Copies of this chain bind each other. A is one copy, B any other.
Amino acid sequence: MEKTDVLIVGGSAAGLMAGLTVKRRYPEKKVTIMRKASKTPVPCGIPYIYGTLKAVEKNNMPDEGFIKQGLQLNTLAVESIDRGNKTADLADGTRIAYDKLILATGSYPAMPPIPGMQTGNVFGIKKEPEYLQNIQKALESSRHVVVIGGGFIGVEMAEQIAKMAQAGSHDEPVNISLIEMLPNCLMMACEQEFCIDAERELSEMGINVMTNAQVQAIQGNGKVTGVQLASGETIPADAVVVGIGVTPNIDLARQIGLEADPRMGIKVDAYMRTDDPDIFAAGDCAAKFSFFDGQPTGIRLASVAASEGMIAASNLYHPLRKCMGAVGAFGTTVGNSSIGAAGLTTKAADAADIPYVVGEAVFPNRHPGSLPGCVANMKAKLLFSRDTGKIIGGHVRGGESTADMVNIVAAAIQGGLTAEELATMQYATHPLLTASPLGYHVMLAAENASVKMSDNRPSQQ
């Protein structure tokens, strides 16, 4: 019987990061990653297959790097696990013994419980190269495309389908509609003014953005013909892409008797341990709690998965590292703009009953502003706890460095830095790379918040 030290079920962000972490910390351990798909698509890269990369295979992570770092990659499915004997049975009938097991089984695309979801040319966004290829074929032959869900994946898909059409994939114009139930796209993750900016970018690309719109049924006999809304309106559709979120894949965990909630995921503690001392879970399949209040949260991002994978792997033999909870840090591009955000929005802070102070800064992202490629109105909006002065959230909108810049905010949140500290810090600036030292966005927004919180009297320190 084959033996491995660490068996990891799942080969996306959490599983790969877990494997790499084991090899960094314990180079002598044998690490086997079970991955059903022949290749791992970059999960966040899926929308970019259609407009930017123009080929499914360009979005696959190359295996060479992982193999070079000593990981064993195995594409057989795990059929069952014997926790008592610590063995796994694979799809070809072979059995593999493990010492430690990490479940990184990921998630399924969530599908709305409405009639017609099984109609042809209605797609979820599965992380499977062959399925993604089918989406591409359907899009190429469709004149009316409807995207259901205005969160990140939906917005990115709609934007990329528009780019695909702009690049001449079709002889005739393509009608693209994006349908969102809430008053704004991206509303679960972004401040409203940033959502409205994103919607404007989408509209300027010719996308029909429909908010406050609920899908009631998919129409069509065999192949989709339209999407019927609660308002009674029907949007013609030759293809429908659904991006309304994900559901944790707890199938294997349940099968082997681990505690897991269909909505929240596999139960883990802050060390990513399940109830079985030799079994860990990380990534989309694992339950999450919020960094801010410790409450359960549905934040499922590749960055959270990677962090959890690293933490789980670090704790296999001793509890070394604790998970701080999901912060929610991300970036995206929409049309000619990009957005980065981390932590709480004003809406989320209100919901969590955390009193806050907002600081904002609008400043060119190059200096002088006459430099070619300068984004004149790059914007930061930061949130600080009124009680502690610590930063609890932030958005940056503008040039290509929004995500890297918002990672200053992400690090500051996780490091517990205050408005006062972020205002008086020194930041690297350069004419061709950043805002001016007078207007570096994080600094200036923090200073504006600090002024609001200050009574200009001597500090007690």
Contacts and interface: CB of A to CB of B under 8 A. Distances in A.
A222 B48 CA distance: 62
A13 to B, nearest CB: 5
A419 B330 CA distance: 22
A193 to B, nearest CB: 19
A165 interface: no
B404 A411 contact: no
A318 B411 contact: no
B403 A44 contact: no
A150 B331 CA distance: 37
Contacts of A327: 425-426
B414 A426 contact: yes
Nearest to A368: B42
Interface in A377-430: 400-408, 410-412, 414-417, 420-430
A24 B458 contact: no
A202 B372 CA distance: 22
Given A368-B59, A428-B342, A437 B305 contact: yes
A320 to B, nearest CB: 6
Contacts of A440: 303, 407
A262 to B, nearest CB: 25
B438 A306 contact: yes
A416 B421 CA distance: 11
Contacts of A403: 428-430, 433-434
Interface string A142-165: 000000000000000000000000
**How many monomers of this protein are in the complex?**
2
A166 interface: no
A118 to B, nearest CB: 30
A411 B342 CA distance: 16
A454 interface: yes
B400 A433 contact: yes
B52 A372 contact: yes
Interface bracket on A: 35 or more
B402 A411 contact: no
Contacts of A310: 423-424, 447
A457 B17 contact: no
Given A53-B371, A438-B20, A411 B425 contact: yes
B318 A438 contact: no
A42 B305 contact: no
Given A371-B48, A415-B421, A448-B24, A428 B406 contact: yes
A433 B340 contact: yes
Interface string A54-96: 0000111110000000000000000000000000000000000
Interface string A91-134: 00000000000000000000000000000000000000000000
Given A24-B451, A411-B412, A438-B20, A324 B424 contact: yes
B428 A410 contact: yes
Contact of A52 (B60, B402, B432): B432
A349 to B, nearest CB: 18
Given A305-B437, A411-B412, A415-B417, A431 B24 contact: no
Contact of A415 (B17, B415, B427): B415
18 contacts: A17-B437, A21-B447, A26-B456, A45-B368, A53-B370, A58-B370, A302-B437, A305-B437, A319-B458, A320-B458, A330-B430, A331-B428, A331-B429, A342-B428, A400-B433, A401-B433, A403-B434, A415-B415
Given A303-B437, A304-B426, A400-B400, 12 more contacts: A13-B437, A17-B437, A24-B451, A25-B456, A44-B367, A303-B427, A310-B424, A321-B424, A330-B428, A340-B433, A410-B427, A414-B425
